[in-house]
Amino acid sequence: MAQRRPEVNLPKVNGNIVKYFIYFVIAMIIFSLLTTTTFITIPPGHKGVKFKKFGGGLEKDKIYDQGFHIVAPWNDLIQYDVKVKEGDAEMSVLSKNGLSIDVQLSYRYQPLAESIGYLHDEVGINYLQQIVTPEIRSATREVIGKYLPEELYSTQREAIQDEIFQRTFESVSKKYINIDAILIRSVELPPNLKGAIEQKLQEEQMSFQYEFKLDRERKEAERKIIEAQAKADANQILNASLTDKILQDKGIEATLELAKSPNSKVVIVGGGDAGLPLILGNQ
């Protein structure tokens, strides 16, 4: 006869524990989903706009500020960084005379905070690549194409920079984006042209200094002429006002003053030229 194996008594698992464990796992999954889709915190420098999948779509005019927000899990809260950010662009453009110029630009931009609903509806989160960069490149090519290389390199650089900014600002503002500034960081010309322009600028500077020196000397000569003419006019007026009678009176006054000195002397009235007194000393 076959021998029966001894029965082994295994501990029975409590069915309630398994059930509670499954409930716990499901609750954790739901909580995790709610944490990322329902309990949302908008950080500083950001704003949000809500998209309702089953209730009218994008709320363009309602902007959510930074802080904690509760959003239904079937809705989306799209966040935008509204701080001022800096970008740069490098490009080759043609000048007025057809020469290629390498230009480096830097710019500051940001979305209009109260219009991010319209920005998201018409452009989207990638507004930098879709709007800002293409508009800056287009404006730069149009503006620089009206100037000669030496104007961009020296005299008209600031005016060119301002014109690029104005053109870009007008175009991107229509898409709810603000451009704070556009700056030309560097301009690279062909080496031969760069050397010729620098030499020309140096010669112009030397010519300016020479003209300044000539102008200064010319003014000094004019000053001396005016001073000499003033002295001549004064002498002419003085000579015209002196008569023989006035000279005699002045001579008498001077003689009387000399006669008051303690030195012994003889005064002969009418003994000098033109009837002036003649003074003889004690020698």
**99 & 142 share domain:** yes
Quick one: 72 and 118 in the same domain? no
In a domain, 222, yes or no: no
∠ CA(20), CA(24), CA(28), 5° rounding? 175
- Same domain for 275 and 262: yes
Q: Are residues 26 and 122 in the same domain?
A: no
Domain membership of residue 140 (yes or no) is yes
On whether both 25 and 70 belong to a single domain, the answer is: yes
CA–CA distance, 143 with 146 (Å, rounded to integer) = 6
CA neighbor of 242 nearest in space, from 204, 169, 234: 234
Residue 168 forms part of a structural domain: yes
Residues 185 and 127 in one domain: yes
On whether residue 236 sits in a domain, the answer given is no
Does one domain contain both 93 and 71?
no
Is 254 within a domain? yes
In degrees and rounded to multiples of 5, residue 200 shows phi and psi of: -65, -45
What's residue 101's pLDDT? 86
Residue that finishes a domain, picked among 168, 189, 210? 189
Q: Tell which phi-psi region holds residue 57, choosing left (phi > 0), alpha (psi between -120 and 50) or beta.
A: left
Boundary of a domain, candidates 152, 172, 189: 189
Co-location of 185 and 136 in the same domain: yes
The values of phi and psi at residue 44, to 5°, are -60, 145
- Determine whether 58 is exposed, middle or buried from the number of CB atoms within 10 Å of its CB (0-12, 13-18, 19+): middle
203 within some domain: no
pLDDT of residue 281: 55
Residue 107 β-bridge partners:
87, 182
130 and 176 together in one domain: yes
Instruction: Among 81, 111, 131, identify where a domain stops.
Output: 81
Instruction: Mark whether 101 and 174 lie in a shared domain.
Output: yes
Looking at the fold, whether 164 and 89 belong to one and the same domain comes out as: yes
Domain holding 175, by residue range, is 85-189
Number of domains in the chain: 3
Q: Are residues 111 and 141 in the same domain?
A: yes
Which regions in the chain score pLDDT beneath 70?
A: 1-15, 18-21, 23-24, 27-37, 154, 190-205, 208, 210, 238, 240-251, 254, 256, 258-283
pLDDT value of residue 223:
83
Question: What CATH number should be reported for the domain holding residue 119?
Answer: 3.30.479.30
Q: Which residue has the tokens 């949302």?
A: 40
Residue 1 domain-assigned? Answer: no
pLDDT at res. 277: 57
Say if 143 falls within a structural domain: yes
